[in-house]
Amino acid sequence: MGPVRQALREATRDIHERLDRAAVLRPLTSPSITADEYRDALIALHGFNAPIERALGEGAERLDLLRADLADLGVDADSLPVAGSLPALDGLPARLAARYVLDGSAHGGRAMLPNVTRALGFDATRGARFLASAGIDMAGRWKALLARLESDLDTPESAQAACATAVALFAALEVWLDGLAAKGA
């Protein structure tokens, strides 16, 4: 593992562990997930992913998959609220950090897919395209991203800026999920 990836991993470890316990996302790891829980998790993920993917302006294939899954569940993605107060993604370190956060989540999605398939019957062709990253070479994309992190963030300042953005993005996700939980209570 390269030093930039290691720095990103260490910088985000604590908040990432907290997010793994977020109430709206936790059912994704349960073999008894319900359709309502799944829909709520996808709505929450859309609200976070959509504004980031739009800001990045490239690599938004997974957002298209998420929108298709929401449509399968009878949800109009255009009517959904999205997270605000996201960090600026205007420099290369910030943009690479955002890609690290979003593409890194794809690995977790594939681990959650078997539960969703068993419980709800959704798979890479219907309802769980996003979790499966259907049709996207995520392994190749991840490998290329990791190489870019190490080659393009070649100064301590750029690596530190990427870490700060990744932490800020995870913090924004935490605020977003907490806000959704408060509305649902």
User: Helix 92-120 crosses helix 35-56 at what angle (to 10 degrees)?
Assistant: 160
Per-residue pLDDT of 153-171, as tens digits, reads 999 999 999 999 999 999 9
Q: Which three-class secondary structure state does DSSP give residue 128?
A: coil
pLDDT at 185 over 60: no
Q: What local confidence, expressed as pLDDT, does residue 1 receive?
A: 85
CATH superfamily for 3-179 is: Heme oxygenase-like (1.20.910.10)
Q: What local confidence, expressed as pLDDT, does residue 182 receive?
A: 83
Distances (CA, A) of 131 to 74, 112, 143, 160: 18, 7, 19, 30
pTM recorded for the entire structure: 0.94
Q: Provide the residue ranges of all domains of the chain, joining segments of one domain with +.
A: 3-179
Mean pLDDT to the nearest integer, 128-147: 95
Q: What local confidence, expressed as pLDDT, does residue 93 receive?
A: 98
Which residues neighbour 78 within 8 Å (Cβ) at sequence distance 6 or greater? Answer: none
**Diameter over CA atoms, the chain:** 47
Q: And the tokens for 127?
A: 């309802």
pLDDT at 43 over 80: yes
Contact 176, 24 (CB under 8 A): no
Q: What is the mean pLDDT of the chain?
A: 94
